[in-house]
Chain A
Amino acid sequence: MDLNYSPQYEEFRLEVREFLAENWARPAGLDRDARAAVEKAFRNKAIQAGYLYRNVPREYGGSGQEPDVLRAQIIREEFRQARAPVELHQNGVQLLVPTLLEHGQPWQKEAFIPKTIAGEYFWAQGYSEPGSGSDLASVRTRGEIVGDEWVINGQKIWSTGAQYCQYMFALIRTEPDKPKHEGISYLLIDLRQPGISVRPLKQITGRAEFCEVFFNDARTPSNWIVGQRGEGWKVSRSTLKFERSYIGGAERSTELFARLMELCRSARIDGEPALRNPAVRQRVAEISGALAAQRYSSYRQISMAANSEDAGIVNLMFKVFSTDIGQDIAKLARDLIQESFLLAPPDESNWRHAGFERWNNQFMGSLGLAIAGGTSNIQRNIIAERGLGLGREKKAGGEKA
């Protein structure tokens, strides 16, 4: 047990710091486009230096570094510290690129990965359907080969940011006669065509981060398939696995906790900062305990990965655990903001001028994490079945889910 980094890694940390000091200053007073340009130029330098998109080969626009979880961790820590731009938060980058690297054909990698990483191609995820949530393998959106094209009919839902995306990666039923897991293909689709309409879905917070996507004889070339016909379920597993560990990371909880501490210092109870109130201190310390548990578990997880050991059951637990932390934070914030709880959360345009009602966005948004990327309840089934070895319940129709 040694939480210090060896000299070789400390040297690497210094190198990263030096790079950041030379190449990154937070742009002040720039408009959105100018800021985006500055960030893009910085990302390119960071890729050249080998700090971003480390697992993506150079020929596809990444920095093609040997896997090294400790270096990756140091980069995360230092970039975060400097508040420098990291890899794009976009489904295409986080979910499609790893999938293409694992299952894509060379031309697909060439055509899609570099532009996705560069932020030129935005991708929507086409997984869930109105009738297929937790039982995702039951998707019914149909794809049929007509000539050298897939013709697609049906509907997807919960596609993040689809209104801003050019493309979608989707699970489409192409082999209707096969058992449900074997009848799905992983298709790439251009969203800008007459057969597709995208409708933003207003969520309980009032924002529209997700969309419904309707397919009415939409078309995509027959070779825009990742993996073979009927292998889509298998292909998508690498994506979903990635999504779950991404949502379960400790960074998000840590940032949220920092905001909670700000609230505890600014909100008042009996004219004093709430943080001086004994009951509030208890609850904040309780959340600190859970957060520290998550952080040190992730240290262990990272150490095991660095040693090529499988951390096992704990990998399955991060999402449920961090979702619960988010909900505990939401409840404490609710108690501190008092009557602001009566106000609608602000939208992005008046966010800066809003008061404590900003927390209503988190209060409701924290529910989304218990649902997105596999519900917490489904995750508990997975922990129980794969982690604890409990038997599967017979599903309706005798099918084992």
Chain B
Amino acid sequence: MNFLLSLEQKMLQDAVERAARDVCPLQELHRHVDHADLTLRKRAWETLAAMEVAGLCVDEAHGGSGYDLVDAALVTEVLGYNAVPSAFLGHTLAVLAIQASQDEGLKQTWLPGLAKGELVGTVALREPDKGWYPDDWSMRPEAGRLSGAKSFVLDAGEADCIIVGLADGQLGLVEGRTGGVQCTPLDGVDRTRALFDVVFAGAQVHPLPAAKDAGTRLADAASVLIAADAFGGGRRAVDMAVEYANQREQFGVKIGQFQALKHQLANMATRMEMSRGLYWYAAYAFDHRPLERGHAASLAKAHVTEQFLQVARDAVEAHGGIGFTWDYHIHVWLKRAMFDWAWNGDPKFHRERYARLSDWQ
């Protein structure tokens, strides 16, 4: 019984934290958010690739580090803390899907490049006006070709391969940026993530032969990583609010001395800190307790993203007027919280799923 990070995991988080601070200071983040300047995104990805983080979950036989989902979640937490715009989330999910397939040829073709970060992957799960999980996937390949639409796909415009959710919870791989794949960028509320609507028009698709629940497993992985991101982002929102309360003076004293604000900050810190174990456990269950995987993923996704959204709102409020300006940076995390809340299923969806999985009659 040891529910703690290993030294190696702590070092991984520290290394990514240092790199994230270096590559993504606030002024760079502003440039990215204000001007849709993609320099930061590109540099961030190069940095992660150079640290071998792009191949974190690729097995060693295919040129990666062979880590578990929990390690990817720990990295996601740090990227969320620093609001680093990067392809890591979709990429890692694509890697997990290919890694879990039984098609050795496909693995040989894709994994080494994905591991190096030379190739970028993503996942396309939700269909327009439908849900995110496999029950709502309806696309069926015909004679190796795929037609239909997916919405709110991360990074589709730059992806070399897109893992597509198919009918019956199966998965297929479509090569990105080729004929038959049209990606339309969306004006997303969160400018640190690039969202696209994707239309497949007779695109060539390779089925990913895998276990029956491959699609659900992939969606659960997405939920765990989003929960991790939300934990990191929420932690940052608390840190920023506390820091501000220790600087800003009104009535001749630091505003952090006022009990009303203290209580708000204490509640925010409590909401977030108590969420840590929940996302850890969801990642742990994904790796080690398959029977609890879905329960834990949905519970964590619902709870932690909801805490992040509330804490981000509270953090804006705690900053007063400056927090309401575009020029100040707290809104970046508020919008990431909005993304985390809605992407891959909102808390309502995940709570009902938890109730169903728990067999509440």
CB within 8 Å of B: which residues of A?
A: 1-6, 9, 70, 73, 264, 273, 275-276, 278, 281-282, 284-286, 288-290, 292-300, 302-304, 306-307, 309, 313-314, 317, 320-321, 377, 380-381, 383-385, 387-394
- Residues in B with CB closer than 8 Å to A292 are 278, 281, 296, 299, 303
Determine if B58 is an interface residue (Cβ-Cβ < 8 Å): no
B212 CB → nearest A CB, Å: 26
Contacting pair A303 B355 (CB below 8 A):
no
A-B pairs with lowest CB-CB distance, top 10: A296-B277, A289-B303, A285-B351, A384-B262, A380-B266, A390-B256, A383-B266, A299-B3, A281-B355, A297-B277
Asked if B302 is at the interface of the complex by the 8 Å CB criterion, the answer is yes
Kindly provide the distance from the CB of B283 to the nearest chain A CB, expressed in whole angstroms.
Answer: 8
Interchain Cβ contacts under 8 Å between A and B, 14 examples: A1-B70, A1-B280, A3-B2, A5-B1, A281-B355, A285-B302, A285-B355, A289-B278, A289-B299, A292-B281, A306-B2, A380-B263, A383-B270, A390-B242
CB <8 Å contact, A281 and B281 = no
Shortest C-beta distance, B347 to chain A (Å), equals 8
Whether the pair A384, B266 counts as a contact (CB closer than 8 A) is yes
CB of B262, distance to nearest CB on chain A (Å)? 4
Q: Judge whether B361 and A276 touch: CB under 8 Å.
A: yes
Residues of B within 8 A of A (CB): 1-6, 9, 70, 242, 245-246, 253-254, 256-259, 262-263, 265-267, 269-270, 273-278, 280-281, 284, 288, 296, 299-300, 302-303, 347-348, 351-352, 354-355, 358, 360-361
Determine the chain B residues whose CB is within 8 A of the CB of A394 once the complex forms. 257
Q: How far is the CB of A68 from chain B (nearest CB, A)?
A: 11
Neighbouring A residues of B266 by C-beta, 8 Å: 320, 380-381, 383-384, 387-388
Shortest Cβ distance from residue B311 to the other chain A in the assembled complex, whole angstroms: 13
Inter-chain contact B277/A388, CB cutoff 8 Å: no
- The answer to whether A320 touches B360 (Cβ under 8 A) is no
Q: Report whether B348 and A297 are in contact in the complex, using a CB–CB cutoff of 8 Å.
A: no
Known A288-B354, A296-B281, A307-B4; judge A282-B348 contact (CB<8 A): yes
Instruction: Tell me whether A297 and B276 are in contact in the complex, defined as CB-CB below 8 angstroms, given that A273-B361, A317-B270 are known contacts.
Output: yes
Q: Smallest CB-CB separation from A265: which chain B residue?
A: B361
Give the chain B neighbours of A276 by CB distance below 8 A: 360-361
User: A303 with B246: in contact, given A1-B70, A288-B354, A292-B299 (CB under 8 Å)?
Assistant: no
Given A289-B303, A296-B277, 19 new contacts (CB under 8 A): A1-B2, A1-B4, A3-B2, A3-B3, A3-B288, A73-B1, A273-B361, A289-B299, A292-B278, A292-B299, A296-B278, A298-B277, A300-B4, A303-B1, A309-B4, A383-B266, A388-B242, A389-B246, A393-B257
